[in-house]
Each structure stands twice: as structure tokens, then as C-alpha cells.
Amino acid sequence: MAAGLAVAVLAAGAAALWSTLADGDDGGRDGAQGQSASAPADEATDPAAPEPGTEGADVSDATGEAPSDEAATPDGSPPPGYVALDDAEGFRIAVPEEWSERSAETGGVFYRTTGGAELIQVFRVAEPGATALGSVRRASEERSGAAGFEEVAVGSVDNPLGGEAAELVYAYDHEESGGRRRVVERVFTASDDRLYAVLVAAPESQWPRHEEILDVAVTHFEPYGSPF
């Protein structure tokens, strides 16, 4: 699929994430090299339906640590181990250096480790009247049918870019990962005053490092032009 996705609302992004995580690495992606990433294209398949979770837990408690205060160095560049990329979709983001596989799919843009066990997903929340907190609550409701789905926490969080932000933390069974997978989905207002979502997913055993990965990605997220 060519770059320039028409609309990436929260529901579409959620569906593509569930499908992509279930299917594993699908190949056909260009790597993100140096300071830019090129586009490419496999379409996600239909997601599994999620199962009801719990609601109302504090997000910082659920992740096991407060948001990282090392998301940026004094000069504003990403911390060691991360690289800032200019994505072909029209935004800048910082990802771990080893997360070099990039794809543009139905639900947005994905950055993955080799094999796809860990990933970042980026998309815009384009639903009229959407709010950050309302979007993550709705996302949780829309996942309320898949076996193994557990809502860990949902609530408002600080936004280093200013404006509103909220997070949904959840876990589910993922056979290809050898057990449970945890996801943190953050919806936030970016510098263009539009809502975007960044998700980080990884085997539960890999946490809590991935909360830092999310903080770095969001802190260095900068849209230019008109992404998505």
C-alpha cells in the first residue's frame, strides 16, 4: 500500500494492531535507514475480537514505573540507543536503533524488531470530536471480546508536548510470543493540535523497558505537512 493513508481513526488502528500481532512478521518492508524511512506495504488481516477487561486503574501504577525523565538529552536529541527518523508519512519520531523494520499498513505506520516480537504503531485519531481519554476508553470497549484480553489501566497522563494525553494499558495471550503480550496505547495532542496514537507492544517479560520506549517516541514525535 502506498504511503498516504486516507484516514486512521482509533478503531482502525486498534484492529490492525490486533491482526498484525496475531499474524507476526509479514515481510515486504523497507528498513528505516539513517535519518529517513521509506514506505511499503502489506495489508493487515481481520483482527480477533477481544474479551472484557477491568477499568479505572491508575496508569502509572499499572506500568510499574513513572514515565521516564530521560526521554530527551539536554540538546533535545534522543537518548543513547535511539535514533530520530523522518517518516515518509510526514512525521518525525524516535525509535530504538534496533527497531529497523518499517511498514505502512491499514492501521498506520509500524516499526518492528526483526521478527516482529516488539513493535511501535503510529496513527492519527481522526474521528470528529474525539478526545484523548474518550479515545482510549472506546478502544478498550472495542477490544472487549477476545480471549485473554485484560485491561490493566486506563486514564489521563501528562503530555510532554502540551495538551491532553491518555493511556490504555492492556495484555492478552499471544502464542507466537510464548505467552502474554502487553500493550500501552497513548493518545495525545501533537504540535499541530491534532490527536495521534502511539502504541508499544512486546512480550510481557520484556517490560517495563517499553514504557521508556513509548515516552521517547512521544517526546520526539513531530508532525509536519499533514500526516495520514
Q: What is the pLDDT of residues 140-156, one digit of tens each?
A: 998 877 768 999 999 99
Q: Which of 57, 26, 22, 45 is nearest to 173 (CA)?
A: 22
Residue 66 has pLDDT above 50, yes or no: no
Beta strands per DSSP E along 47-129: 82-87, 91-96, 101-105, 108-112, 119-124
The stretch 112-135 carries a mean pLDDT of 94
pLDDT at position 25, please? 34
Q: What is the rounded average pLDDT of the residues 52-67?
A: 43
Dihedral sign from CA coordinates of 134, 139, 142, 148:
negative
The pLDDT, as a whole number, for residue 52 is 34
Q: How large is the average pLDDT for residues 108-131?
A: 94
d(CA 67, CA 69): 7
Nearest-angstrom CA–CA distance, 44 and 23: 8
Rounded alpha-carbon distances, angstroms, from residue 136 to 2, 38, 88, 209: 28, 29, 26, 22
Q: What is the pLDDT of residue 92?
A: 97
**Phi, psi for 24 (deg, rounded to 5):** 80, -165
User: Ramachandran region of residue 53, left (φ > 0), alpha (ψ -120 to 50) or beta?
Assistant: beta
pLDDT above 80 for 18: no
Q: State the Cα–Cα distance between residues 148 and 154, nearest whole angstrom.
A: 17
All three cell numbers of 167, joined, read 493511556
**Out of 62-71, 83-92, 123-132, 216-225, least confident range:** 62-71
Q: Return the ∠ at Cα 166 (arms to 4 and 223), rounded to 5°.
A: 30
Compute the residue count for the chain: 228
Q: Which of 43-52, 120-129, 134-143, 168-177 is the least confident region? A: 43-52
pLDDT greater than 70 at residue 167:
yes
The answer to whether the beta carbons of residues 16 and 44 sit under 8 Å apart is yes
Confidence class of residue 78 from pLDDT cuts 50, 70 and 90?
very high
For residue 73, the model assigns a pLDDT of 63
Q: What percent of the chain has pLDDT over 70?
A: 65
Q: What are phi and psi of 186, to 5 degrees?
A: -115, 125
User: What is the spatial distance between Cα 19 and Cα 116, in angstroms, rounded to a whole number?
Assistant: 12
In terms of DSSP bridges, do strands 195-203 and 222-223 run parallel, antiparallel, or are they unpaired? unpaired
- The span from the CA of 122 to the CA of 167, in Å, is 14
